[in-house]
């Protein structure tokens, strides 16, 4: 087990596993958000929010997800520092390609932007919903769809959210194929396939998330407060 935590290969393996776990969560979260576009005034979304409220299984899932995020960040930091120390000014060069794409060169910076956006996202949603319910706050939000509509009716917040999604897209387009490459899918044949799959999956996720703020911002601008 020593290699898993102390070798470069082991750290990349943990990064890949935690990254895939977070990717699956994004797919679930995106699917949940898309129910807001159903013509039911957010009833399905609110039902899911109620199911994922202050229940033991929802809390356990939240803790596991938080652990996955922490592990991913910690190992990303360790690998970034290790690469900088080992390669110096040539830390972005690859044995397979003489230069790497922009997202690969800026994965850690993109990650920091994503974490900052995540803090804002948690403050506006999780803190006012599940956490408030856990501590018995009388102001806990029970109808999540109304909160989403209110926040994304603000063009400022919606645009910041879309910029955040842009950082996530760049992070995912490199991270998805890199994770599967670390897990053994590599070589001249698999590299273009993984890149294509990575781009498709990343785009579907980001477009799915972006559809919500774009929709509510457009409704607000076209219909006003009515």
pLDDT, one tens digit per residue, over 94-128 is 444 434 567 777 777 888 889 999 999 999 888 88
| pLDDT tens string 69-82 | 999 988 888 887 87
Percentage, residues of the chain above pLDDT 70: 88
For the domain spanning 2-223, the CATH number is 1.20.1300.10
Q: Is the pLDDT of residue 162 over 90?
A: yes
Q: Per-domain residue ranges for the chain?
A: 2-223
| pLDDT attached to residue 102 | 72
Long-range contacts at 27-35 (CB < 8 A, ≥ 24 apart) = 27/205, 29/209, 30/205, 30/208, 30/209, 31/208, 33/148, 33/208, 33/209, 33/212, 34/208, 34/211, 34/212
- C-alpha 179: how far from its chain's center? 15
| pLDDT tens string 1-42 | 655 667 778 888 888 899 899 999 999 999 999 999 999 889
| pLDDT attached to residue 90 | 52
DSSP letter for each residue of the chain: -HHHHHSHHHHHHHHHHHHHHHHHHHHHHHHHHHGGGSTTTTHHHHHHHHHTSS-HHHHHHHHHHHHHHHHHHHHHHHHHHHHHHHHGGGTT--SS-SS--HHHHTHHHHHHHHHHHHHHHIIIIIIIIIIHHHTT-TT----HHHHHHHHHTSHHHHHHHHHHHHHHHHHHHHHHHHHHHHTT--STTHHHHHHHHHHHHHHHHHHHHHHHHHHHHHHHHHHTT-
- pLDDT confidence of 174, banded at 50, 70, 90? confident
pTM for the model stands at 0.84
């Amino acid at each position: 087990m020593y290699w898993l935590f102390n070798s470069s290969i082991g750290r990349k393996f943990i990064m890949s596993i935690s990254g895939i776990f977070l990717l699956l969560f994004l797919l679930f979260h995106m699917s949940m958000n898309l129910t807001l576009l159903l013509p039911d005034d957010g009833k399905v979304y609110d039902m899911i929010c109620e199911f994922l409220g202050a229940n033991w299984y929802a809390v356990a899932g939240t803790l596991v997800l938080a652990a996955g995020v922490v592990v991913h960040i910690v190992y990303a930091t360790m690998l970034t520092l290790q690469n900088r120390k080992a390669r110096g000014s040539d830390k972005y060069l690859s044995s397979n390609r003489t230069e790497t794409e922009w997202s690969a060169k800026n994965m850690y910076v993109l990650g920091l932007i994503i974490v900052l956006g995540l803090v804002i996202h948690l403050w506006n949603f999780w803190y006012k919903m599940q956490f408030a319910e856990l501590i018995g706050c009388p102001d806990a939000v029970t109808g999540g769809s109304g909160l989403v509509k209110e926040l994304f009716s603000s063009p400022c917040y919606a645009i910041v959210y879309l910029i955040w999604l842009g950082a996530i897209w760049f992070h995912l387009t490199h991270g998805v194929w890199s994770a599967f490459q670390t897990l053994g899918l590599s070589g001249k044949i698999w590299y273009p396939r993984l890149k294509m799959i990575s781009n498709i999956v990343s785009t579907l996720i980001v477009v799915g998330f972006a559809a919500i703020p774009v929709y509510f911002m457009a409704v607000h601008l076209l219909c006003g407060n009515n």
